[in-house]
A = this chain, B = another copy of it.
Amino acid sequence: MLVLALAIQDRGYGYVFDRVGMEPTGDPFNSISKLETSVPSKPLNPMINAGALAVTNMIKGDSALERWSRIRDFVQRLASDKNVTCDESVAKSEFETSCLNRALCYFMKQHGVIEGNIEELMDIYTKQCAIEMSCFDLARIGAVFALDGKDPETGKEIIPKGIARICKTFMVTCGMYNASGEFAIKVGIPAKSGVSGGILGVVPERCGVGIFGPSLDKRGNSIAGLKLLEILADKNNFSIF
């Protein structure tokens, strides 16, 4: 989702959404069937695996290294933390075993949604997925979105307002995989879940929230994280609805 913000800056709104849709999906995050039955064969949204891979593929750079560095630098700027980087051993292990993501990549390459070398893309993507952050980092990034893209300390724009709003909207409609609808009812804030068990929450104009809880439910969201956000939202009236 952070990479989406960078991709729209790199390529523009039109280029990005010609290749990735805007619709939530009732299917699991790693489904390949929907790619086949959709016409044209583009991923339904940037939050599911296929869409995230397609978005990473859009990041500009002369080499895989430069493209990865630009992603890492952008995340460091959002987190205001120069030490944020990926866990190389996690990235390497993912790189070696991630057959399903390669299947998604080749399927999209066949249909012109992505281009270029798949192994390079997998290298960047597995690093991006292995970025290590503390809860504080997550919350700080959430705060940037809560302020429509502005740095909470300096007030300087890190993400253009329009792009920050697009990201927040996706967080509401698709951020919690195929439990996004239920989360919108029960919690009602923009949030993005990760397979690590992290959740980045955004309470507009108020704050960001960062949570880690490694135990996941069957739809891929942190069990403790969901419960905690439900309680927090209820007590503090977080819902935007």
User: Which residues of B lie under 8 Å from residue A83 when comparing CB positions?
Assistant: none
Once bound together, how far apart are the Cα atoms of A32 and B41, in whole Å? 13
Contact of A23 with B107 at beta-carbon distance under 8 Å, contacts A37-B33, A185-B166, A241-B169 already known:
no
Q: How large is the interface on A (under 10, 10 to 19, 20 to 34, 35 or more residues)?
A: 35 or more
Query: Is the Cβ of B23 less than 8 Å from the Cβ of A181?
Result: yes
Q: Is the interface of A mostly helix, strand, loop or mixed?
A: helix
One digit per residue, 1 when the CB lies within 8 angstroms of any chain B CB and 0 when it does not, for chain A 184-206 equals 11001010000000000000100
Query: Is the Cβ of A32 less than 8 Å from the Cβ of B36?
Result: yes
User: Which residues of B lie under 8 Å from residue A110 when comparing CB positions?
Assistant: 99-100, 103
Please give the distance in Å from A111's CB to the nearest CB on chain B: 8
Query: Is the Cβ of B25 less than 8 Å from the Cβ of A25?
Result: yes
Query: Is the Cβ of A172 less than 8 Å from the Cβ of B190?
Result: no
Can you offer 11 A-B residue contacts whose CB atoms are under 8 A? A23-B26, A24-B25, A26-B34, A102-B106, A103-B105, A103-B107, A103-B110, A169-B188, A170-B185, A172-B173, A173-B184
